[in-house]
Amino acid sequence: MDLHKFGIKFFAVDGQRIDILKLIPLYHRWIQHNALQELLIDVADYSHVPAGPGVMLIAHEGNYALDETGHERGVVYYSKRRLSGELPERFARVAQRALTAARLMSADAELDGTLNVPGNRLQFFANDRLLAPNTDAAYAELEPAFKAFLERLYSGAPYRLARETDPRERLSVTVQADTEAPLETLLARLS
């Protein structure tokens, strides 16, 4: 499957402790200082919407957010444009971007250490129902590449998968790995 539009969210622990409005100046600073290796455009504030996309950083190739969907906060990146490489490579690239953002946020003085992303729980979602609807067949097509990516990310450690069951929702899978690893380690495995 030639999937390009998808995202990965790394869940935070105790995410409700974060003052989400502090992300607005933080993202603006990232834009000012080119903190991420892509074209950053603007900040979109949806903090007034409960369980929504939170505060977003709009980039050219994809969007970053401290997403609040399902009342579970987590750092998400999803790609909007074509990605190069094979599918496992694309998964790795999107995960790298989310992890990089999570690492920067966790270390930012503005958030005062309130963001804790252990990296051992993530959600993958295909953001393209035309190509990848939430069906067994579509998942079966993606599964080998996805598992290859997880193998790399968790370095062979065991994990459990749970798929979204509502066929109207996006094809998505939540992954819980048995062991935690620092974000730097996860990033190193993907680099």
Partner 1 sequence: MPVDLAREIDVFEGQIELKKQGKIEDKLFAETRLRRGAYGQRYDNGQRHDGIAHRSLPFPTPTTKGPETLWDAPGMQRIKIPFGGLNPDQMDVLADVAEEYSDAICHITTRQDVQLHYVHIEDTPDVMRRLASVGITTREACGNSVRNVTACTLAGVCRCEVFDVTPYAKATAYHLLGHPDTQEMGRKFKIAFSGCKTSSCGLTNIHDLGFIARTWQENGVTRRGFEVVVGGGLGAVPYDAKLFDAAVPEEEILPLAQATCRVFARLGEKRNRGRARMKFLIEKLGFDEFRRLVLEERRILPPDRRWTDYLKDIERYHETPTQAPSKLDLANLDPEFEAWRATNVYPQRQSGYVVATVTLPLGDITSWQLRQLANVARRYVGDNVRATVEQNLILRWVSEGDLPALYAELKRLDLALGGAGKIEDVVACPGTDTCKLGIAASRGLAAVLHERLVERQKNGAIEPAVRDLHIKMSGCFNSCGQHHLADIGFYGVSRKVGGATVPHFRVLMGGEWENNGATYGLTIGAVPSKRIPEFIDHVTQRYVAERQSGERFKSYVTRIGKKALKEMVDAFSSVPPYAVDRSLYSDWRDPREFTISDITTGECAGEVVPQIQFDLQAAEQRNFEAQVYLEQGEFQKADEAAYQSMLIAARGLVRTQFWDLPDEPDPIAAEFKTRFYDTGLFQSPDAGQYAGGKFALYLLNRHADKARTFTADKARHLVEEAQLFIEAAYGCQQRMSEERARALASLDLPAATTDATAAAEATA
- Candidates 1, 14, 16, 41; binder of partner 1 (CB under 8 A) is 41
Task: Confirm or reject binding of residue 52 to partner 1 (CB under 8 A).
Answer: yes
Which of 31, 145, 148, 161 binds partner 1 (CB under 8 A)? It is 31
Strand partners of residue 55: 45
170 lies in the binding site for partner 1 (CB under 8 A) = yes
Kindly state the tokens that stand for 104.
């920067």
Question: In angstroms, what is the minimal distance from the CB of 97 to partner 1?
Answer: 16
Q: At what angle do helices 87-107 and 136-154 cross, to 10 degrees?
A: 60
Of 107, 124, 106, the closest CA to residue 115 belongs to 106
If you search the block for the tokens 């730097």, which residue do you land on? 184
The C-alpha atoms of residue 176 and residue 179 are separated, in whole angstroms, by 9
Burial category of 16 from C-beta neighbours within 10 Å (exposed 0-12, middle 13-18, buried 19 and up)? exposed
Binding letters toward partner 1, positions 96-135, x by CB under 8 A = -------------------------------xxxx-----
Q: Which of 24, 148, 157, 161 contacts partner 1 by CB under 8 A? A: 24
The residue ranges that bind partner 1 (CB under 8 A) are: 5, 21, 24-25, 28, 31-32, 39, 41-53, 56, 58, 60, 63, 69-70, 80-81, 127-130, 168-170
